[in-house]
Structure formats: structure tokens, C-alpha cells
Amino acid sequence: MASEIVLDIQKTFSDRAAVTARLHLPLDPPSATILFGPSGSGKTTLLRCLAGLERPDAGTISFNDSVWFDAATHVQIPPQARRLGYMSQDYALFPNYTVAGNIAYGLTGLSAQEKKARVEEVLHLLQIEQLSQQRPAQLSGGQQQRVALGRAIARRPQLLLLDEPLSALDAPTRARLCKELRILLTQLAVPSIIVTHDWTEALALGDFMAVISEGRVMQTGTPLEIFSRPRHADVALVVGIETVIQGTVKAIHNELATVQVGSVDVTALASPGLDADVILCIRAEDVTLELTGSGETSARNHLRGTVHTITPLGALVRVTVDCGFLLTALVTRSALSDLKLAVGSDVRAAFKAGSVNLIPR
Amino acid sequence: MNWTTIWVTGKLAGLTSMALLLIGLPIAYWLTFSRWRWKFLVESLVALPLVLPPTVLGFYILVVIGPQSPIGRFYTDLVGHPLPFSFHGLLFASILYSLPFAVQPFVAAFEQVDRKLIEASWTLGVSKLMTFLTLIVPLSMAGLITGMILSFAHTLGEFGVVLMVGGNIEGVTRTVSIEIYDEVQALNYEDAAKTSALLLAVSYAVLLLVYAVNRRVWSVWPQK
């Protein structure tokens, strides 16, 4: 049986934009779906409606064969009966229970022995055995995140809902736990829906993605598809103008990685523990254009190509260069006329190794 | 000092605060979490004993539980004696009179519990009742103790309602505050002073307990 969520809901608020969302999320094979959008776009509201914590004004929500919400027939399955693992942004650990107590909390209907065994299993899975008798207040942000995740998965939920799972953490911890989360989600083989406003997280965690803006679903697809080919200008604005493309790390030398993208090699800063398969992200602002034959610069990457498209954006112009892959650059209108660039012109695109963001996949 | 009176007073206060724990918890839960738009009507009703003269409250309680009313007649048929001027009648009046002293601290404590914790518990499949017992109650402990102590202390010192509903029956409904009044009427200042001092000491001790329970910084016993 295909696992899927079909959601078509409306919810109005007195103080912010209404949420009018229509989504069909395939969850088979167990996949991670990203709800991506700026803060206040309504993605957390969607997640809370899925969890049963918020009641839409109209519409329906169904998960596989069961109807979770139907405004017309007044069906509202309570959160208790949805068999979910829900994790809120600030983890909401119970301060009056230990780590083990938090994880055991939802394990109702099990014998004491089964409960103990399951708690140990979860503690082991998340590598937090040594924390089992600590109180939440004694834990670091990263540890709290693991405990919250452990608590959410302990009951073997049929769906995991994670609201900004990494946003409460500092940057180095976030990068480390992002990778671990990806591995864990694959191990668990439970479909998950993850809310985030961070495009690195979206690319690193998601198999499928929905871009939400002002309470509406703007585009759905794989994260790579959406980031590299936003369908509307609005989506491009939400995701940022980026060159997003898949590559393979060929070699790492002196902390610099050589990444093969199609037939071209790109030099990027290597982060520790980099896998072979990566997604490269290059901000258009970081790419400079130069005429072929000009001298050396400090930029590590100089790619020859031809101008593919030119799109004026006010004082700036977006230039896409075909240099084995499509690379987007954002330059001023005057620079464009100085270089006398037109579609089909030969050009060299330059960017620093540090401007290439490598996201492990 | 009359130990029978002290015993009656203590029994009344203890039973009242116990009963208010049972009655006050569901009322406070409802007042905290209900989204009913007319909730303020009930909130005001619960707070009424704070401002109403005890004699007014006592009067209405007498009317409601008296032999003229269906409730009063039903009770008399059931138990064999009327509710007014009995210990149970007095207990009933005390519960109503001290209701806000229990319910308001309960509500304040429940409101302090982070909604996200409660929602987390629900999504973990734990029913509303079990969430209340295993999460909300433990996290509201200070407020629950405060409410119980305040209603106990408030009942200790009640006068008007006791006089209206309980009368002044030695060993049954005569409480400490009434005894003090009687002794002053009889110009028996020495006994009045003793009993007053006892009530003062107990009330102060009880309030000390309330503030100690709700203290955030323990400078006396610093945490490691």
C-alpha cells in the first residue's frame, strides 16, 4: 500500500496571513519531506495541523487510509491516536523526568521489562546511554535534541514530524547533528516531515520538498530540483538565487576538495568527514565574470563558458553561464556593458573555493 | 484554651482544604484550558467569595441548604437531620467560602506549565487525564501546596459564615474565632488573648510555609 499524506486545509488567523495549503506528499519509500519557507510562512501551522494540535477551519487531512481531519464531517482525530513522533523547535523535554524517564514517558501499555528494554535500545541508538539519569536542565542543546528525538521515536511512530529540528543549536553542532539526523532517519525507515527555513538543512535532509510562502504551497519537488530550477520568481526569492548542482569529491588535498561536476572540476573548501557525494551551492553574488585571457586572481575557480541567458533585475543582472554546468552570476548592469556581454559571448566565471558550499548527501 | 474548639476548627480546615483539592483541581483545569468565550462568567463566580461579605454568603447558603429548599429537604430525608447548624453544613459553607483561595493558586500554577510540554505529552499518545496527573500536577506542585495551605488558613479564621451557617454549638460547630468573640463578650480577656495568640502563630507559620514553598532563591540552603 502506498504511504501518503493528502492535505487540503484552510486556517485563518486574526494576526497573520491565512494558511491555504494543498499538498500531496508521497511517503513511499520512507522518505524525508521538507516544508521549506521563511519564518511566518505557515509551515509550522501545517505541521501542527498534521499533529492534531491545531484545528484547520476547513478542509481535510488524510494519512494513508485514515482520515485525520475532515471539517465537513467534524472528524478530528486527537494527537494521541495519530501515532506520531512530534518534536517541537525547543524540544519541550519534561523537566520533572530524567532522560530515561522522558524516553519512557510515551511507552504506555508495555510491561516494565519491555519498557526498560525499549528505553535502553533508544538510548543506545542515539548514543546517549551515559545521560540516562540526567535531568533535561543539565544537558547541552545537542544532547537535548537527541533526547527529544529519542522520545519521539521510542513509540515506533508511523510518521515523524520535526519542527526546525536543528535551529536551536549553535552552528558547529548543527552541522554535525544534521548529518547524524540524516543517517538516523534512513536507519529508522519512518517517513518524516521536517520544517526548516535553512536551505543547507533542506538539501542535506530532504528527499522531497514543498516551498511554503505566505501560507501557500509554491512548488513541490526534490530539493535539488527546486533550488536549481525554482519555478517562479517568488520561489527563487524564497530559496535565494543559487547555483545548486550535484558533484562527486575526487580528491582532498590541503583541506581543498576537488569536486567533479559533469566534465568540470571545481575547487572547494573541504569540511572534515566529507563524503564522496555532495551538492554544491554557489551564491550568485559570489561569482564574478571576466573576459577570457585576463590575468590570475585569488579565486581558485576559473571556468570558461558561454553566456547562456541574461535576465535584468533592476540595477543588477543575472547572467547564467554554461561552463559544463549552468552557473548563475549576479553582476551590475554597468559591468555587463563594460564587458560587452551578450548571449553566446565567451566569458570566464570566477569564484573562490570558500564560496562553494558543499552539502553531503 | 478550649481544646474541643481547636479540634473542631482544625478538622474543619483540614477537611475543607482536602475537599478543595478534589473539587478545585478540575475547576482550575477547566478555567485554565477552556477556550469557551463566556469563561469569565465562571471565573467571576469562583472569585465572588473574595469580595462578598461572609454574612451574605452565609445567608444564601442557609437558604439553599435550609429545610425550605429541595436540596435541604433531600439532605434531611437522606441523613435524618437538616444540614444547617451541623458540622457537614459548616463544611459545605467553608468549601464555598475558601474556593477562590484554592482555585486561584491552582490556575496560576497550571498557567505556568509550558503548553508545549502538554502538547508533547499528547503527541506521545498520553491521554489528557494522564497528562494532567503525570505532567501538569507534578509541575504545579508549589501552586497546589499554596492553594491547599491558603484555603486551610482561610478556613481557620472564618467567622461570619460559621456564625450564619454553623451556629455556635460546642464541640460541633464552635470554632476558634467564635470562641474568641464569645470570650471578649464575656470580658474574659485572658483566654481571648491566649486563643488569639495561637491563631496568630498558626496563621503566620502557615504563611511562612506558603512563601517558603514558592521561593525561587534558596539563600539559606544554596544549591550546589
Which of B52, B65, B63, B146 has its CA nearest to residue B97?
Answer: B52
DSSP symbol at A197: S
Q: Work out the minimum CA distance from B215 to partner chain A, whole angstroms.
A: 18
Amino acid in position B99: L
Q: Can you read off the three cell numbers belonging to residue A121?
A: 535500545
Contact A82 B123 (CB under 8 A): yes
Cβ atoms of B123 and B191 within 8 Å: the answer is no
Straight-line distance from the first to the last Cα atom of chain A, in angstroms, rounded to the nearest whole number: 28
Within chain A, which residue ranges are assigned CATH 2.40.50.100? 244-360
Q: Which chain A residues are Cβ-neighbours of B114 within 8 angstroms?
A: 92
The residue behind cell 535584468 is A312
Select from A80, A83, A86 the Cβ nearest to the Cβ of B127: A80
Contact A94 B117 (CB under 8 A): yes
Mutating which of A48, A88, A138, A144 best tests the B interface, going by the most B Cβ atoms within 10 A?
A88
Which of A237, A246, A335, A236 has its CA nearest to residue A288?
Answer: A335
Inter-CA distances, A214 with A41, A53, B152, Å? 5, 20, 54
Which of A359, A31, A39, A15 has its CA nearest to residue A196?
Answer: A39
Q: Give the pLDDT band of residue A176 (cuts 50, 70, 90).
A: confident
> Which residues partner with A5 through β-bridges?
A25, A63
Q: How far is CA A329 from the centre of its chain?
A: 24
Select from B114, B116, B123 the Cβ nearest to the Cβ of A84: B123
Q: Which chain A residues are Cβ-neighbours of B123 within 8 angstroms?
A: 51-53, 79-80, 82, 84-86, 161
Domain range for B181: 3-213
Those residues whose C-beta lies under 8 Å from the C-beta of residue A73, and which sit 6 or more positions away, are: A67
How do residues A261-282 score in pLDDT, each as one tens digit?
Answer: 888 899 988 877 778 888 888 8
Select from B116, B122, B138 the Cβ nearest to the Cβ of A79: B122
What pLDDT score does A295 carry?
A: 65
Portion of chain A with pLDDT greater than 70, in percent: 98
The answer to whether position B219 is within a domain reads no
The answer to whether position B160 is within a domain reads yes
Q: Work out the minimum CA distance from B149 to partner chain A, whole angstroms.
A: 23
Contact B120 A88 (CB under 8 A): yes
Whether A151 shows a pLDDT value over 90: the answer reads: yes
The residue behind cell 509551515 is A43
How do residues B107-130 score in pLDDT, each as one tens digit?
Answer: 999 999 999 999 999 999 999 999
Contact A85 B138 (CB under 8 A): no
The answer to whether position B220 is within a domain reads no
Number of Cβ atoms within 10 Å of the Cβ of A285? 16
Contact B122 A80 (CB under 8 A): yes
Select from A53, A108, A161 the Cβ nearest to the Cβ of B125: A108
Mean residue pLDDT of chain B comes to 88
Give me the mean pLDDT over the A44-54 stretch. Answer: 92
Distance CA A306, CA A324 (A): 10
Portion of chain A with pLDDT greater than 90, in percent: 37
Looking at 3.30.70.260, 3.30.428.10, 3.40.50.300, 3.40.1280.10, the CATH number of the domain A4-240 comes to 3.40.50.300
Rg (CA), chain A: 23
What pLDDT score does B221 carry?
A: 46
Q: Work out the minimum CA distance from B128 to partner chain A, whole angstroms.
A: 9
Q: Can you read off the three cell numbers belonging to residue A16?
A: 497573520
Distance CA B96, CA B46 (A): 9
What pLDDT score does A299 carry?
A: 80
Report how many Cβ contacts below 8 Å link chain A to chain B.
Answer: 59
What pLDDT score does B217 carry?
A: 53
Straight-line distance from the first to the last Cα atom of chain B, in angstroms, rounded to the nearest whole number: 46
The answer to whether position B199 is within a domain reads yes
Within chain A, which residue ranges are assigned CATH 3.40.50.300? 4-240
Contact B120 A94 (CB under 8 A): yes
Q: Give the pLDDT band of residue A15 (cuts 50, 70, 90).
A: confident
The residue behind cell 545537542 is A142
User: Sign of dihedral through CA atoms A336, A339, A340, A342?
Assistant: negative
Which of B118, B78, B92 has its CA nearest to residue B12?
Answer: B92
Mean residue pLDDT of chain A comes to 88
Give me the mean pLDDT over the A194-207 stretch. Answer: 89
The residue behind cell 460546642 is B170
Q: How far is CA B204 from the centre of its chain?
A: 17
Q: Which residue of A has its CA nearest to B129?
A: A80
Length of chain B: 224
Whether B153 shows a pLDDT value over 60: the answer reads: yes
Whether A213 shows a pLDDT value over 50: the answer reads: yes
Q: How many Cα neighbours within 13 Å face the side chain of B65? A: 23
Q: Work out the minimum CA distance from B210 to partner chain A, whole angstroms.
A: 21
Element containing residue A122 per DSSP (H, E): helix A112-125
Contact B116 A53 (CB under 8 A): no
The answer to whether position B190 is within a domain reads yes
Distance CA A44, CA B52 (A): 47
Q: Can you read off the three cell numbers belonging to residue A218?
A: 509554491
Mutating which of B35, B115, B124 best tests the A interface, going by the most A Cβ atoms within 10 A?
B124
Distance CA A64, CA A152 (A): 20
Cβ atoms of B34 and B172 within 8 Å: the answer is no
Q: Which residue of A has its CA nearest to B124?
A: A106
Distance CA B141, CA A142 (A): 29
Whether A212 shows a pLDDT value over 60: the answer reads: yes
CATH number for the domain harbouring residue B86: 1.10.3720.10
The answer to whether position B180 is within a domain reads yes
What pLDDT score does A81 carry?
A: 92
Distance CA B223, CA A93 (A): 22
Whether B220 shows a pLDDT value over 60: the answer reads: no
The answer to whether position B224 is within a domain reads no
Bridge-based pairing of strands A316-322 and A326-332 is: antiparallel
The answer to whether position B21 is within a domain reads yes
Whether A122 shows a pLDDT value over 90: the answer reads: yes
Q: Which chain A residues are Cβ-neighbours of B135 within 8 angstroms?
A: 94, 96
Q: Which chain A residues are Cβ-neighbours of B138 within 8 angstroms?
A: 96
Long-range contacts: B120-123, Cβ < 8 Å, 24+?
A: B120/A86, B120/A88, B120/A92, B120/A94, B120/A151, B121/A94, B121/A105, B121/A106, B122/A52, B122/A53, B122/A78, B122/A79, B122/A80, B123/A51, B123/A52, B123/A53, B123/A79, B123/A80, B123/A82, B123/A84, B123/A85, B123/A86, B123/A161
Q: Work out the minimum CA distance from B124 to partner chain A, whole angstroms.
A: 5
Angle between helices B141-156 and B3-33 (to 10 degrees): 140
Looking at 1.20.1740.10, 2.40.50.100, 3.40.1410.10, 3.40.50.2000, the CATH number of the domain A244-360 comes to 2.40.50.100
Q: How many Cα neighbours within 13 Å face the side chain of B125? A: 21
Angle at A38 between CA A161 and CA A7, to 5 degrees: 45
> Would you list which residues of chain A are within 8 Å, Cβ to Cβ, of chain B?
51-53, 78-86, 88, 90, 92, 94-96, 105-106, 108, 151-152, 155, 161
Q: Which residue of B has its CA nearest to A79?
A: B123
Distance CA B66, CA B60 (A): 10
Give me the mean pLDDT over the B166-184 stretch. Answer: 85
How do residues A25-34 score in pLDDT, each as one tens digit?
Answer: 888 887 899 9
Query: How many domains does one find in chain B?
Result: 1
Q: How many Cα neighbours within 13 Å face the side chain of A341? A: 30
- Of B115 and B84, which is predicted with more confidence? B115
Mutating which of A48, A84, A94, A161 best tests the B interface, going by the most B Cβ atoms within 10 A?
A94
Which of A59, A31, A56 has its CA nearest to residue A46?
Answer: A56
What pLDDT score does A2 carry?
A: 65
Q: Work out the minimum CA distance from B36 to partner chain A, whole angstroms.
A: 16
Cβ atoms of A328 and A351 within 8 Å: the answer is no
